Amino acid sequence: MNLAIWDIESSSANTSWGSIIEVGGILVDPNFKELDRFNFRCRLPDGEIPQAMALIVNKTSVDLLTKGNLSHYQMLGELEAIFRKWSPAIFLGWSNIGFDDEMIRNEFFRGIRYPYITNATPNKRHDGLNIARGAHAVDESVVKTEINEKGNAVMKLESLARMNGFESAGAHSALFDAELTVKVLGLIKKNQPQTWDIFLRTANRADTEVIIKKEKIFTLAEYHFGKNYKYVVAPLHPKYCIHPIYQWGQAVDLKIDPVPLLNMSVSELKNAMKKQKFLKTIRSNKAPIILDKSYGMQVEPYNNIDSDLIKERATLVNTNEKFSQNVLTALREIAEEKQQFDSQEDILAEESIYKKFTPQKDTALFPKWHSSSWKDKLIMLDKFEDERMVSFGKKIIYQESPETLPSSMFKSIKREIAGRILSDKKEKWWTCKEFYFECDNLRDKYSNEKDDEKLKFLDEINQFVEGIQKKYEKA
């Protein structure tokens, strides 16, 4: 499969409330030959307060926020079109599963587009950072790395690129970061070809679950607090090896003798999970790194355990249906107990992507909605069953074609935006008050550092937000 390597820059670190303001990508074939590329930048959506630090990091001026050729809505349309054109592909970036993928899912969800475009069949997704960490876990010489003050290898994209001879001065622009990802991953494939296809085996949930159910024993490579760890594990019985709530694979760490666990009750297993930590969770939908057992058998404590004993332990785990069933029951109870203690605070529409799926009937209407005139878009909102889509649609029309809205609806949407961004409370989204507080703190920092360029930028972005505030104070 081709690799679609992409990156975003955003107005905020909050995936539910921020916006993509730049996105770039490069399509390469399995041998890293470039096939296509794009880069889009857009204006900030009307009524959104950006995070100053996010704009400093991605070098976004007020002019770039306000004078781009594309509106935010138009950019999402261009992005959806090019991702569809590139399909089928393995979509990946650098640390994309934790941020970029979440941002695009939320943006497409709020933008009345299918959110799971990067990983729904026939597409798959992986993460360049996971691959780099996995390659480093196999052989630390695969790429040159900086070592931080704690003695750990630095796996940041800019650092890896610079250490391996790639120009990195433009890092934190979307297309440039995509280019660096292509270069670093290309180098990893060249220097460690034997693991490349092994890493890509886990590029979707279904393929990963096949591995978990089929393999009797393997190495799970994980990364914690700056260090690589390798665990030799045995999945639970193939019928009962997937978490009943989260749908993640479950395996037993074979440094622990499973015999005392096999006949435990569900409540005893719950205690043992906390105390002994014998169970390893394999996040099947997040591109885990699964390697041959031989890699883990080379490190402590597994290299001090007889290999035949490791195999015996694996067989006990793989073949015991009752034990595996009890582990899943314990996991279900733990998850349900946790849900009872979850915040009872109301979930707002913008952050509800995983709480309720949009009906297929509505999803089927999305393309027609986007291809319609603004007047017809407004009329078509009555056809959506999902009230969240109706709300999102009204806001899109407010931002793109406000004259289409009836006066009362226009004023209502404007008042809702005003109520959010002018709030004096600590909110989930960025408010004017929060922005000014952030700006003041950054001014102190950059004054002490005598960084006149950043101080000038803060003054400009501060004026920009004051303009938004004035507009919505009249709502």
Q: Give the pLDDT confidence of 337-378 residue by residue, as tens digits.
A: 888 776 556 789 999 999 999 999 999 999 999 999 999 999
Q: What is the pLDDT of residue 338?
A: 87
- List the chain residues with pLDDT less than 50: none
| Tally of CA atoms within 13 A in the half-sphere of 286 that contains its CB | 16
DSSP state, 121? T
pTM (global) more than 0.85: yes
Q: What is the pLDDT of residue 344?
A: 56
Q: How far is it, in rounded angstroms, from Cα 164 to Cα 172?
A: 18
Q: What is the pLDDT of residue 183?
A: 98
Q: What is the pLDDT of residue 474?
A: 85
Q: What is the pLDDT of residue 345?
A: 66
Q: What is the pLDDT of residue 292?
A: 96
Cβ contact 162:179 at 8 Å: no
Q: Look up tokens 């998850």; give the residue.
A: 335
The structure tokens listed for 216 are: 């009797």
Q: What is the pLDDT of residue 180?
A: 97
Q: What is the pLDDT of residue 343?
A: 59
Q: What is the pLDDT of residue 173?
A: 83
Counting DSSP H helices and E strands in the chain, the numbers are 20, 10
Chain-centroid distance of CA 115 in Å reads: 12
Could you give the strand order of the β-sheet that contains 249-253, starting from the edge strand earlier in sequence?
279-282, 249-253, 227-235, 218-224, 289-291
